[in-house]
């Protein structure tokens, strides 16, 4: 009986050790970030009648969660939350938002330049679940049409 128990234990250990972890496209698990916030930063872009607000909560130097709001003149507002990572000078996240009464999801990438962030733009693809992804992060363009400057968090 001890041999059978030992054999069963070995098989179970092999099964557990060989379990494949799910892929997350480089985005680390940031659940529970609210309980371990190390740093909070806010950024704002204001241009004539348009405003963009970015609120970051950073934990463990690279895990990020927060909110992003676009308030464009004569257009529906859109705002939501994101979770992602800081990699070097880039903020890479998945943004879930409400716009025109519809909940959507898309990639977002911001490049940090000094005390400001620039949003990345590029070719996109729509995944099977309806979320929008960048086709290739390496081909993104960053311009200063929306320059998010560091500001006090309210």
More confident residue, 20 or 77: 77
Nearest to 121 by CA among 99, 146, 104, 102: 146
Is-contact 66 54, C-beta < 8 A?
Answer: yes
Name the pLDDT band for 16 (thresholds 50, 70, 90): very low
Identify the three-state secondary structure at position 131.
Answer: coil
Entry pTM: 0.72
Alpha-carbon distance values, 18 to 8, 10, 22, 58 (Å): 16, 12, 13, 32
32 CB-near residues (< 8 Å, 6+ apart): none
CA 32 to chain centre: 14
d(CA 114, CA 43): 12
H runs (alpha helix) in the chain:
2-17
Whether pLDDT at 28 is above 90: no
Q: Is 127 exposed, middle or buried (0-12, 13-18, 19+ CB in 10 A)?
A: exposed
Given this model, what pLDDT does residue 51 score?
Answer: 94
d(CA 52, CA 98): 15
Rounded percentage of the chain residues whose pLDDT exceeds 90 = 54
Highest mean pLDDT among 59-63, 70-74, 148-152: 148-152
More confident residue, 129 or 56: 56
Report the chain's mean pLDDT, rounded to a whole number: 80
d(CA 48, CA 121): 22
Tell me the per-residue pLDDT of 78-127, one tens digit each, with 9 for 90 and over. Answer: 899 999 999 999 999 999 998 878 889 999 999 999 999 999 999 999 98
Whether pLDDT at 20 is above 50: no
| Listed range (11-20, 31-40, 68-77) with the worst mean pLDDT | 11-20
The number of CA neighbours under 13 Å toward the Cβ of 5 is 2
């Amino acid at each position: 009986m001890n041999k059978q128990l030992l054999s069963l234990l070995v098989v179970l250990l092999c099964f557990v050790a060989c379990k494949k972890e799910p892929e997350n496209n480089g985005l680390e698990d940031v659940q529970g970030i609210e309980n371990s916030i190390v740093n909070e930063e806010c950024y704002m872009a204001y241009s004539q009648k348009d405003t963009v607000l970015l609120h970051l909560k950073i934990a463990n130097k690279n895990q990020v969660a927060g909110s992003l709001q676009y308030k464009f003149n004569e257009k529906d507002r859109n705002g939501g939350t994101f979770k992602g990572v800081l990699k070097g000078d880039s903020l890479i996240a998945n943004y879930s938002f409400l716009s025109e009464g519809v909940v959507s999801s898309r990639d977002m990438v911001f490049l940090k330049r000094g005390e400001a962030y620039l949003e990345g733009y590029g070719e996109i693809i729509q995944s099977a679940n309806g979320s929008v992804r960048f086709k290739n992060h390496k081909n993104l363009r960053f311009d200063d049409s929306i320059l998010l400057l560091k500001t006090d968090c309210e």
